[in-house]
């Protein structure tokens, strides 16, 4: 859902906001439900890798939720949607996911998956997020 399409097109410039040479980054999407679970996501154009700083940010967010024992998932996806079309994020494939959750023995772990694993075959972001939310309390 886009609430203000004109503002969505406006460039946000962080070049004058630096701390020790670092500038802010953005998170493309965040979802949470009563602090029971968190979802973070990054959407990139096909062929564009995630920046080192963004990847570190997502890994550290997952590390922090691991310490708090709150389930979270970080999803990276790529698309090749033409510039004049809306990107349907829910129907994009999952390229990488980092999941923080207890395993069957109840031990909290962080695990990174990529699209080559059977876990994601044919899965969209919407399917993965809904499955995650259902498992941990939607």
Contact between residue 50 and residue 112 where contact means Cβ atoms under 8 Å apart? no
pLDDT computed for residue 126 by the predictor: 95
pLDDT computed for residue 104 by the predictor: 80
Whether 3 maps to a domain, the answer reads: no
Whether 77 maps to a domain, the answer reads: yes
Strand pairing partners for 42?
76
pLDDT computed for residue 119 by the predictor: 63
Q: Quick check: pTM over 0.85?
A: yes
Beta strand pairing call for 72-79 and 108-114: unpaired
pLDDT computed for residue 49 by the predictor: 92
The boundaries of the domain holding residue 90 are 25-136
Whether 16 maps to a domain, the answer reads: no
Q: Would the pLDDT of 118 be above 60? A: no
Q: Would the pLDDT of 39 be above 80? A: yes
Could you tell me where the DSSP H helices lie in 3-74? Answer: 5-8, 52-68
Note the pLDDT tens digit of each residue in 69-85: 999 999 999 999 999 99
Whether 13 maps to a domain, the answer reads: no
* Span 103-128, average pLDDT: 78
pLDDT computed for residue 121 by the predictor: 65
pLDDT computed for residue 117 by the predictor: 56
Whether 95 maps to a domain, the answer reads: yes
Whether 20 maps to a domain, the answer reads: no
Whether 5 maps to a domain, the answer reads: no
The count of domains in the chain is 1
Whether 2 maps to a domain, the answer reads: no
């Amino acid at each position: 859902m886009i609430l203000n399409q004109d503002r969505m097109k406006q460039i946000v410039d962080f070049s004058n906001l630096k701390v020790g040479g670092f500038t802010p980054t953005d998170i493309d999407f965040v979802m949470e439900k009563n602090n029971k679970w968190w979802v973070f996501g990054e959407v990139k154009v096909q062929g564009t890798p995630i920046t080192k700083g963004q990847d570190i940010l997502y890994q550290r967010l997952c590390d922090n939720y691991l310490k708090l024992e709150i389930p979270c998932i970080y999803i990276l996806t790529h698309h090749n949607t033409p510039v004049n079309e809306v990107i349907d994020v829910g129907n994009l494939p999952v390229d990488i996911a980092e999941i923080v959750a207890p395993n069957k023995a109840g031990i909290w772990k962080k695990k990174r998956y990529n699209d080559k694993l059977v876990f994601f075959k044919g899965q969209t972001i919407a399917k993965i997020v809904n499955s995650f939310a259902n498992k941990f309390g939607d």
